Amino acid sequence: MSNYHIKHLEEYFSVYRKSVRDPELFWSEVAEEHFMWRKKWDQVLDWDFDKAEISWFKGAQLNITENCIDRHLYTRGNKTAILFEPNDPKEPAIHITYRQLHERVSKFANVLKDQGIGKGDRVCIYLPMIPELAVAVLACARIGAIHSVVFAGFSATALSTRINDCGAKMLITSDGSFRGAKSIDLKGIVDEALEDCPGVAAVLVAKRTHAEIHMEAGRDHWLQPLLDDAYGDCVPEVMDSEDPLFILYTSGSTGKPKGMMHTTAGYMVYSAYTFKNVFQQKENDVYWCTADIGWITGHSYIVYGPLANGATTVMFEGVPSYPDYSRFWDIIDKHKITQLYTAPTAIRALAKENLDFVTSHDLSSLRILGTVGEPINEEAWHWYNDHIGKKKCPIVDTWWQTETGGILISPIPFVTPTIPTYATLPMPGIQPALMDENGEEIKGNQVDGRLCIKFPWPSIARTIWGDHQRYKDTYFSAFKGMYFTGDGALRDEVGYYRITGRVDDVIIVSGHNLGTAPIEDSINEHPAVAESAIVGFPHDIKGNALYGYVILKETGEGRDRDNLRKEINQVITEHIGPIAKLDKIQFVSGLPKTRSGKIMRRILRKIASKDTSNLGDTSTLLNPEVVAEIMKEAL
């Protein structure tokens, strides 16, 4: 029996049982069987959830890029590692073989070294989905620098906050980016961000749009000439298993974004293991994950997981709607994609379009479909199953988080029978628990509660960069001895899990996590705004959209409301990015508050969702009269 690749349901159950009975034996066998180590570990696992301290494979040494690139050179040197599909379909796709990737990563790594970057330095990467992005990530890992990729849709303020939080010395970016018919002045955003980032000594600029841009003398360098001069081999830095690999920011319900820190060995083992099983990867597959590398899905399942398995992974620069709504189906047909991994929001948007976009393409190469990022509704699941998978491709509804590093609950295709909207069963090594509001574990089936994980798995984030206390408070304090996910879930009669959504003030809009507090903080900076409260409401494409209740200052009272709405969204765009814009803004004279001054979001959520038949008990409110007014004027 192989621990590494599960092929039957009985095998899943026996592997799962083993992984719970003896996690250390289980993970050490997986690690031993399939990876290249410079030195083996002294201890498989050391952990203390009360202190939020976890380490895996202590004492081991390795370099993740040796595992993702070098070891494939003998057997797969000429196989495509990365298949780049550009924004414009008239531009040719680019196949980067493992041998070419080795050379490109080595050159880039040598450029980083020449610029004075070394082990432990933080490098921020703000790039569109072009090959340089994956190469930059791997080049950092090659020399032991810690990468922090910032999604290139974030604003200058969001970028500078992240750069300063992790103390990045260098930024890697491009002149601009293409998104459908638009081109975006990325370097302009960078220049604005860097006005607030004195720690960034150097900026490497890739050429993509060939737009005229400002190059700051002494700070900005064109990337290509440096690469041209660099040596095509770079000895990998030998890393300890717990050396940081990357920092990736995710929104919390309060405060500034959390820099989740992942380390080397455990992350590698778990992302590779789950990729192999959840996508049942075979040698000649062409696997496509449509996420951006700016998110964890791109880190684990475009870059590290697939490459560690010697897979061919597609990177798509564009958007599903350009040149028209057939783009996804065109790409599948063109490259004979075998596994498609995308988000429910994309499925819902595409399902709304004419079916001819789909039926005019040959999708018969597809074997497995995946979804991630938010709960998938039944309608979208069936559309995906019927029209894309033609009822032949199992759908893997994968539940996980930036913090978990890899997929924790998911069907294994052709192994686990699927049910629409269910993430089904935990991966080997994952021990979920449902908790009630008193902190007790709810045993048995047909129950629902707050989803926790009882035992560490190799790719759990190790800390929040620079703020271990916050890490402990956020994830390990709500339920003693457990990692708390922030999600609610139910367990059905056979033990399948269905994720029901966030139970905190994080709202998932089009698959992006948005904390309400940071958006409220930015709105409150508008000079006419006194106070605000944001809640989510159901949206048929985005899953959730944002509804803002805003109290104006006296100075704002006489202003044109539509202009104010535009200005408020502009402030949000500047502080966070367009993904956090509000769909609806209602001006109110007050917000329902408890006697202790807390906003009763439950009531605001119900009004925003037009679900006002039962508002619950409002008698404890400080200002119950405001509820009627808000309801009357609700949008």
Shortest Å, Cβ 373 to ligand WTA: 5
For 19-39, the DSSP string reads: HHH-HHHHHHHHHHHH---SB
Question: Can you name the residues that pair with 447 across neighbouring β-strands?
Answer: 491
Taking the least distance from each CB to ligand WTA, the nearer of 3 and 148 is 148
Could you say which of 66, 191, 285, 397 contacts ligand WTA (CB under 6 A)?
Answer: 397
Which of positions 457-516 make contact with ligand WTA (CB under 6 A)? 485-487, 499, 502, 508, 513
Could you say which of 105, 189, 349, 423 contacts ligand WTA (CB under 6 A)?
Answer: 423
Question: Is residue 399 near ligand WTA by the rule CB under 6 A?
Answer: yes
Taking the least distance from each CB to ligand WTA, the nearer of 508 and 588 is 508
Please classify residue 60 by burial: count the beta carbons closer than 10 Å to its beta carbon, then call 0-12 exposed, 13-18 middle and 19+ buried: buried
Question: Is residue 155 near ligand WTA by the rule CB under 6 A?
Answer: no
Phi, psi of 97 (to 5 degrees): -80, 170
Answer whether the bond into residue 323 is a cis peptide, omega within 30°. Answer: yes
DSSP structural state of residue 90? T
**Distances from the Cα of 46 to the Cα of 140, 279, 456, 543, 584, angstroms:** 27, 30, 9, 39, 48
Spatial neighbors of 175 by CB under 8 A, at least 6 apart, are 186, 187, 205, 206, 207, 208, 209, 210, 211, 213
Shortest Å, Cβ 397 to ligand WTA: 5
**Distances from the Cα of 251 to the Cα of 47, 66, 507, 514, angstroms:** 26, 32, 10, 6
Question: Is residue 400 near ligand WTA by the rule CB under 6 A?
Answer: yes
Question: Is residue 271 near ligand WTA by the rule CB under 6 A?
Answer: no
Shortest Å, Cβ 632 to ligand WTA: 33
Return d(Cα 579, Cα 542) in angstroms, integer: 11
Could you say which of 86, 257, 375, 536 contacts ligand WTA (CB under 6 A)?
Answer: 375
Shortest Å, Cβ 506 to ligand WTA: 7
Question: Is residue 402 near ligand WTA by the rule CB under 6 A?
Answer: yes
Taking the least distance from each CB to ligand WTA, the nearer of 98 and 341 is 341
Taking the least distance from each CB to ligand WTA, the nearer of 204 and 423 is 423
Taking the least distance from each CB to ligand WTA, the nearer of 89 and 488 is 488
* Alpha-carbon dihedral sign for residues 616, 617, 623, 628: positive
Residue nearest to ligand WTA (CB): 402
Question: Is residue 263 near ligand WTA by the rule CB under 6 A?
Answer: no
Residue type, 177: S
Which of positions 287-316 make contact with ligand WTA (CB under 6 A)? 295-297
Taking the least distance from each CB to ligand WTA, the nearer of 318 and 406 is 406
Please classify residue 95 by burial: count the beta carbons closer than 10 Å to its beta carbon, then call 0-12 exposed, 13-18 middle and 19+ buried: middle
Which of positions 190-229 make contact with ligand WTA (CB under 6 A)? none
The residue ranges that bind ligand WTA (CB under 6 A) are 250, 295-297, 372-375, 397-402, 423, 485-487, 499, 502, 508, 513
